[in-house]
Homo-oligomer: A and B are copies of this chain.
Amino acid sequence: MVNPLIRKLENFTRLSGQDKHLLSEFLHEGIRHLGPREDIIREGERPQSVNLVLSGWACRYKYLEDGRRQIIAFLVPGDLCDNNFFLLRQMDHSIGALTPISIAQIPRHRIEEVSLHHPRVAQALSWEALTSMAIQREWTVSLGQRDAQERLAHLLCELYLRLRAVGLTDGTSCELPLRQAELADALGLSTVHVNRTLQELRASQLIMLKGKTLTIPDLNALRSVAQFTPTYLHLEHEGRHLDANE
């Protein structure tokens, strides 16, 4: 299996063969396979390593005391679950699998070794962390300002582009292995309302959704409904000045 982290980081900067070798060694310490609704790590636990999603989808989530749940982030292949979290004494949220998933556990010392001795890779990993923060900020904007239709359209644009960045789209289509209840928990809406909003988007020909496959026939149309601007994903090879020259 190709390491999707490499693919993802190459949206930032070109990596040398040695860099890639280093990153592919991340996979050698142990790969876990989990089924849907199994937790990768749970609130309160102390993280000891860094988890990298190799295949499948996961999410960060948090329950309130009274049972309401918010999905805080979706994690797709190439995403690091918890870079640097080992500095904290305990997780303040949980991460759970949404589909069958395989994840690599990267030992802390490997990360630290990279940041000490391989500045280009370290910067690429920092870029990864910065973009995941940017995504979190954009979710704040969506939840605070966008209405149901904009919010849903925005999320679908984001997921499509993130999947495209790791080669997981097929033309105008990608997988969307989420139940409506999960979309609802991520968007801060009820499942009923998500259902109706999806129907609106379908009726306007903005999306097609059969089974677990999402098709966006006209990305610009969907972007404009969502007021989606892709800048925050920082996918435009922003670290090109660091490119490996081999």
Which residues in A have some Cβ–Cβ distance to B below 8 Å?
60, 62, 64-66, 68-70, 72-73, 84-85, 87-90, 92-93, 115, 123, 126-127, 129-130, 133-134, 136-141, 143-146, 185-188, 227, 231-232, 234, 236, 238-239
Tell me the complex Cα distance, A39–B141, Å: 19
Tell me the bound Cα distance from A115 to B112 in angstroms.
12
Using Cβ atoms and an 8 Å threshold, which residues of chain B touch A130? 84-85, 87-88
The contact sample of 13 A-B pairs, CB cut-off 8 A, is A60-B137, A62-B137, A70-B140, A70-B144, A87-B238, A88-B234, A92-B137, A92-B138, A129-B129, A136-B137, A140-B143, A144-B185, A144-B187
CA distance A138 to B70 in the complex (A): 10
A220 to B115, CA, bound (A): 42
Cβ-neighbour of A139 out of B66, B133, B140 (below 8 A): B140
B141 and A62: CB pair below 8 A?
yes
What's the minimum C-beta distance from A142 to chain B, rounded to whole angstroms? Answer: 9
B145 touches A72 (CB 8 A): no
Min Cβ gap A131→B in Å is 8
Q: Cβ of A227 and Cβ of B140 under 8 Å apart?
A: no
A232 and B134 contact, Cβ closer than 8 Å, known pairs A141-B64, A144-B143: no
Task: State the Cβ distance, A66 to closest chain B Cβ, in Å.
Answer: 7
A140 partner, pick from B127, B140, B232, B238, beta carbons under 8 A: B140
